[in-house]
Amino acid sequence: AQTVTQSQPEMSVQEAETVTLSCTYDTSESDYYLFWYKQPPSRQMILVIRQEAYKQQNATENRFSVNFQKAAKSFSLKISDSQLGDAAMYFCAYRSPWDTPLVFGKGTRLSVIA
Amino acid sequence: DTEVTQTPKHLVMGMTNKKSLKCEQHMGHRAMYWYKQKAKKPPELMFVYSYEKLSINESVPSRFSPECPNSSLLNLHLHALQPEDSALYLCASSQVSSNQPQHFGDGTRLSIL
């Protein structure tokens, strides 16, 4: 079974600085999909960014980018120019191509310091 | 604004009550999901509906009964719940394809007295 590990339960960053959240996963599949979700105190899970394993290019969405290292099974999230609104719980998630459920990591709570 | 609407936002019920949680989406998604989330934990999958048919039941107790009356609606019927069932219940929807992300609602905060 696939597993997703987020080794940083909590992180903090100064406003306008850059922070990287780590995620590693374990799988024997060669094709799969990876996601980062953000959950602010308002509760809604919001998709931040996604990566398809067959694409070598790292995904980017505005201030959010990933460093996808397929051989190392690593999928870290970089947030540039951090804003107060980025404070949230961040979950890394894995999905195989066989229409199976998402596998979530335990999450990283990010605090942004003004 | 969320594209997946859940009602109610908060629910307090006794252990003998019967209540229902509702979820609605109009994005044309044919896969819908129920998750349970405890504080500071990731969501735990409960049920998956694909094309209005139950495709996954993650060994959820029978006091939780899902229903998908049409492609836009998903219900979770609750009966004789236990205090440990108090949690945030999240609904999500997606295209029936693994590369498509799930879109989540705001959740229903459920408290069992």
Tens-digit pLDDT profile for residues B57-82: 999 999 999 999 999 999 999 999 99
The pair of three-digit structure tokens given for residue A102, joined into one six-digit string = 């998402």
B97 pLDDT more than 80: no
What number of residues does chain B have?
Answer: 113
Handedness of CA A23, A29, A34, A40 (dihedral sign): negative
B1 pLDDT more than 60: no
Asked if B98's CB is within 8 angstroms of A35's CB, the reply is no
Per-residue confidence (pLDDT) for residue B2, from 0 to 100: 62
| Sheet containing B18-25, strands listed edge to edge, beginning at the edge strand earlier in sequence | B4-7, B18-25, B73-79, B64-70
Which residue of chain B comes nearest to A54, CA vs CA?
A: B99
Shortest alpha-carbon distance between residue B42 and chain A (Å): 5
Rounded CA-CA distance B113/B110 in Å is 10
Per-residue confidence (pLDDT) for residue B99, from 0 to 100: 78
Task: Give the type of residue at B103.
Answer: H
Contacts B98 to A, Cβ<8 Å = 32-33, 95-100
| Residue A109 contacts B where some CB pair is shorter than 8 Å | yes
Per-residue confidence (pLDDT) for residue B60, from 0 to 100: 95
Asked if A96's CB is within 8 angstroms of B105's CB, the reply is no
> What digits encode the pLDDT tens for the residues B2-28?
699 999 999 999 888 899 999 999 999
Per-residue confidence (pLDDT) for residue A42, from 0 to 100: 77
Low-confidence ranges of chain A (pLDDT < 50): none
Question: Quick one: three-class SS letters along chain A?
Answer: CCEEECCCCEEEEECCCCEEECCEEECCCCCCEEEEEEECCCCCCEEEEEEECCCCCCCEECCEEEEEECCCCEEEEEECCCCHHHCEEEEEEEECCCCCCCEECCCEEEEEEC
Nearest Cα residue to B107 out of B17, B22, B14, B18: B22
Which residue of chain A comes nearest to B97, CA vs CA?
A: A99
Integer distance in angstroms from the first to the last C-alpha of chain B? Answer: 31
